[in-house]
Amino acid sequence: MKSMFSRLFKVVCTVALGAALFACGSSKTVDPFTPNRVIGLGDAYNDVGLSPGAAFTVTGTSTVQTVVEQVAALFGVGSAGTAIRTPRASLPATGVFSYAMGDSLISGTGAADASLTEQVDRVLADVGTFTDKDLIIITAGTRDIKGNLDAVTTVAALTGQVRRLLDANAKHVLIMQPLDIAYTPFGRAAGTYAGKTVTFVNEELTQLQALVRGGGYAKNPVIFTNATGLSSNFNTYTYTTPYGQFTTSTQVPYCSSPTTLTGCAMASGDDTTVATTLFADNLNLTPVGNQWVASFLYNATASGWR
17: Cβ–Cβ under 8 A, 6 or more apart, which residues?
none
Name the nearest CA neighbour of 126 among 74, 76, 89: 89
130-188 pLDDT tens trace = 999 999 999 999 999 999 999 999 999 999 999 999 999 999 999 999 999 999 999 99
**Residue 291 pLDDT grade (very low, low, confident, very high; cuts 50, 70, 90):** very high
Percent of the chain residues past pLDDT 70, beyond the cut: 89
- Asked, for residue 164, whether it belongs to a domain, the answer is yes
Q: Across residues 57-83, what is the average pLDDT? A: 96
- Asked, for residue 206, whether it belongs to a domain, the answer is yes
- Asked, for residue 194, whether it belongs to a domain, the answer is yes
185-206 pLDDT tens trace = 999 999 999 999 999 999 999 9
- Distances in Å between the alpha carbon of 243 and those of 65, 78, 225, 238, 277? 21, 30, 22, 8, 10
Query: Got the DSSP string for 191-260?
Result: ---TTHHHHHHHHHHHHHHHHHHTS--SS--EEES-TT-HHHHHHHHHHSSSBTTB-SBSSS-SSSSGGG
146-158 pLDDT tens trace = 999 999 999 999 9
pLDDT of 18 higher than 70: no
Contact 107, 115 (CB under 8 A): yes
**Residue 29 pLDDT grade (very low, low, confident, very high; cuts 50, 70, 90):** low
Q: Where are the alpha helices (DSSP H) in the chain?
A: 67-75, 116-127, 142-146, 151-167, 185-190, 196-213, 230-239, 271-275, 287-300
- Asked, for residue 127, whether it belongs to a domain, the answer is yes
Name the nearest CA neighbour of 274 among 305, 293, 246, 302: 246
Name the nearest CA neighbour of 140 among 43, 56, 211: 43
CATH number at residue 147: 3.40.50.1110
- Asked, for residue 176, whether it belongs to a domain, the answer is yes
- Asked, for residue 282, whether it belongs to a domain, the answer is no
Our count of domains for the chain comes to 1
CA 167 to chain CA centroid, nearest Å: 21
- Asked, for residue 3, whether it belongs to a domain, the answer is no
Range of the domain at 178: 31-231+287-298
The residues pairing with 31 across neighbouring beta strands, listed in sequence order, are 305
- Asked, for residue 133, whether it belongs to a domain, the answer is yes
pLDDT at 219: 87
How far is Cα 279 from Cα 57, in angstroms, rounded to an integer? 8
